[in-house]
Structure 1
Amino acid sequence: MTTPVEVAVTLAQLGGVSTSADLRALTSRRALRAAVAQGVVRRLGRGTVALPALDPTQTTVRAVQGARSHLSAALDHGWAIAVPPTRPMVTVPRSGQVSAADRARVRIFWGTLTDLEVANGVTGPARTVVDCARTLGFGQALAVADSALRSGGLTRNELVAAARASPRTGRSRAVRVAESADPRAANPFESMLRGIALDVPGLSVEPQVHIGGAEFIGAADLVDVRLGIVIEAESWAYHGDRSPFDRDVRRYTAMVRAGWRVVRFLWADVYRDPAAVHAVLTDLVGETHPATQTA
């Protein structure tokens, strides 16, 4: 039987926020109810659940005359994130006064806020992505940007323009994230893996590429068509049960048979040892010659 803690772990792998239906499908209705009752999962309304530490109370936000920002704002916008923050993240005006108690509860950022952001208690979509891109690691920020584009509430052009207009400190990081963001990315895990792959010299990957042409084999998480490399993000949270797992194994076999080089990484590999993942991909590129097959 799935425990409440296991429900929280699954939710973290889904990006910290999910629909109740998707989380129930990977755990169970009873386990989700227990997780909510024990406070390890919080209902946000509209059939959405999230990890509780990610959302500061409105009272705290109003007390500091600020707005949810960065990853907390991303969750408020309904986007998935890769790594939950240890404390909620709030931006306050540079002239704002923040008590020691509030500093202990939330992570404070200082900056300019619009009247609308203060009134709504959350930074706007483009601002939220740019804030994350300027302050977080590339993979984490890419996960936010991918989620934002995937939601349909923000276009790539809007995101790139906002990044180029952002403050000088961190602007180059923001522009890189904006230009690399892709709504085809399936989830934050895949985005994190793509962030590592994009730092490997000679490797150029695209997300969710269909393999097999007329004889369709399946969609691959990340593909370098020129080198004939398929990179897969493997997590039990995305398989759920035995049937999807079996289907994926057969799909990988078919890809190898068709001439593709397939490499698979676990969630723990990507999140806890990205240097090792980078080293594997670097070695793979060094051993691979441009492929002749087509996606």
Structure 2
Amino acid sequence: MWHREAAIRPDARRMEPAIDVVRRLGGVCRTRDLREVGHYPRSIASAVASGAIERARIGHFVDPALHEQTKRAIRVGGRVACASAAIVHGLRVLEHPSALHVCVAPHDSRFRRARDGCGRVRPGRAPWLTLHWSEIGAAGPPLPPVATVLEQVLECLPPLDALCILDSAREAVPWANTRPRLDDIEFDVLLSRLSRRGFAIAARSSSMSQAVGETVARERLRLAGIIATPQAALPGGFFADLLIGERLVIECEGYAAHGDEDAFERDRQRKAFLRACGYVVLDFSHRQIVHDWPSVLGTIRSVLRRGQSLRETTWPGT
């Protein structure tokens, strides 16, 4: 029996696999992109059934390897944005967003459910969805560049949340030999594109923060009128997460700070050495800094009232 599909089907050996088409186009494509290289409804359905590609919504297909947040945004009808995109980029966030951030075009209106790309969604009645209206919309790669994401973050999120993400992107401590996701030149370009609000937040960022707790503590100390220097050099080749005055060292420790017994022992030796040099070392956990700040600030102020951060430091034996 003659079929129309058979008439347009090229030599199967020459037809580009559906997943290769999707990946060549950045991880997402439309039905017409597959048809242009010779795929027809049956072969597309077969690729979906086998798991080679995923149908995100009507007429849109994605690479199954894409991050789930990216796929959810495509199912809605746009591309992942702001805090949701920051997570996909691997940047540190203060709190995981409760809403999915999606970039859409100004005249877009047909939005679908993020879980299956079906149904209809009215943004004003969907607390789980935050839309970013842009001329770019769903065009371009499924995951926007870091600089674009940071601009969205600085204009959308609360200041402290935005600052944590920006610090993460700019992290460039010299001894770690890691390249920042946003270098100094790109940072200057970002500053030139920001509103007054976004600029004010970005101007307080640091490339020397290595954890969310460090950023939160530094910013909250600033608001309390206390200047803290991030990653300050100390005797013995050590560094302080934050240094107040000359002698008060603030350590912001996450739960993974001591991944093994050797790391734990090295940390004990370092702190013993610093105390022997005359430093006051205060250890606070991530949870304390983020969720119990009044207690943390009270402890720091108690030390400052005694003037223990202002005296000169000495080396043991001098």
Q: Judge same fold: TM > 0.5, yes or no.
A: yes
Which of residues 276, 291, 294 is equivalent to 2:311?
A: 291
Kept in 2, the 8 Å contact 1:65–1:93? The answer is no
Supply the distance in 1 between the matched residues of 2:310 and 2:90 (Cα, whole angstroms).
40
Kept in 2, the 8 Å contact 1:65–1:118? The answer is no
What is the aligned partner in structure 1 of residue 300 from structure 2? Answer: 281
Kindly state the Cα deviation for residue 294 of structure 1 after the two structures are TM-superposed: 8.6
What is the aligned partner in structure 2 of residue 176 from structure 1? Answer: 200
What is the aligned partner in structure 2 of residue 132 from structure 1? Answer: 153
Kindly state the Cα deviation for residue 178 of structure 1 after the two structures are TM-superposed: 1.9
Supply the distance in 1 between the matched residues of 2:110 and 2:297 (Cα, whole angstroms).
41
Do structure 1's residue 238 and structure 2's residue 249 form an aligned pair?
Answer: no
Q: What is the percent sequence identity of the aligned residues?
A: 21
1:123 maps to amino acid: P
RCO greater where, 1 or 2, for CA within 8 Å and sep 6 or more?
Answer: 1
| 1:269 to 1:109, Cα distance in 2 relative to 1, 3 A | same
Supply the distance in 1 between the matched residues of 2:140 and 2:129 (Cα, whole angstroms).
20
What TM-score comes out, normalization by structure 1 length?
0.67
Supply the distance in 1 between the matched residues of 2:302 and 2:153 (Cα, whole angstroms).
31
Kindly state the Cα deviation for residue 262 of structure 1 after the two structures are TM-superposed: 1.5
What is the aligned partner in structure 2 of residue 188 from structure 1? Answer: 212
Any idea what SS the aligned residue of 1:119 has? Answer: coil
What is the aligned partner in structure 2 of residue 218 from structure 1? Answer: 238
1:140 maps to amino acid: D
Which of residues 241, 247, 264 is equivalent to 2:266?
A: 247
Kindly state the Cα deviation for residue 186 of structure 1 after the two structures are TM-superposed: 1.7
Kept in 1, the 8 Å contact 2:228–2:243? The answer is yes
Supply the distance in 1 between the matched residues of 2:300 and 2:91 (Cα, whole angstroms).
28
Kept in 1, the 8 Å contact 2:252–2:285? The answer is yes
Supply the distance in 2 between the matched residues of 1:79 and 1:177 (Cα, whole angstroms).
17
Kept in 2, the 8 Å contact 1:139–1:193? The answer is no
Supply the distance in 2 between the matched residues of 1:178 and 1:156 (Cα, whole angstroms).
12
Do structure 1's residue 68 and structure 2's residue 93 form an aligned pair?
Answer: no
Correspondence 1:258-269 to 2 at 5 A: 258-269=277-288
Kindly state the Cα deviation for residue 249 of structure 1 after the two structures are TM-superposed: 2.3
Kept in 2, the 8 Å contact 1:149–1:155? The answer is yes
1:165 maps to amino acid: R
Correspondence 1:2-151 to 2 at 5 A: 55-58=68-71, 60-97=72-109, 99=111, 101-102=113-114, 104=126, 106-114=128-136, 118-150=139-171, 151=179
Ranges of 4+ aligned residues in structure 1 off by more than 4 Å: 102-106
Tell me the matched-pair count.
234
Q: Which residues of structure 1 form unaligned runs of 5+? A: 1-43, 47-51
- Please tell me whether Structure 1 or Structure 2 has the larger radius of gyration of its CA atoms: 2
Any idea what SS the aligned residue of 1:265 has? Answer: strand
Any idea what the Cα deviations from partners look like across 1:229-255, whole Å, max 9, x if unmatched? 211012331211333223222322221
What is the aligned partner in structure 1 of residue 117 from structure 2? Answer: none
Kept in 2, the 8 Å contact 1:146–1:181? The answer is yes
What is the aligned partner in structure 1 of residue 222 from structure 2? Answer: 198
Any idea what the Cα deviations from partners look like across 1:193-244, whole Å, max 9, x if unmatched? 323233231x2222222211xxx162221113x3422110123312113332
Supply the distance in 1 between the matched residues of 2:246 and 2:303 (Cα, whole angstroms).
10
1:74 maps to amino acid: A
Higher helix fraction (1 or 2) = 1
Kindly state the Cα deviation for residue 189 of structure 1 after the two structures are TM-superposed: 3.0
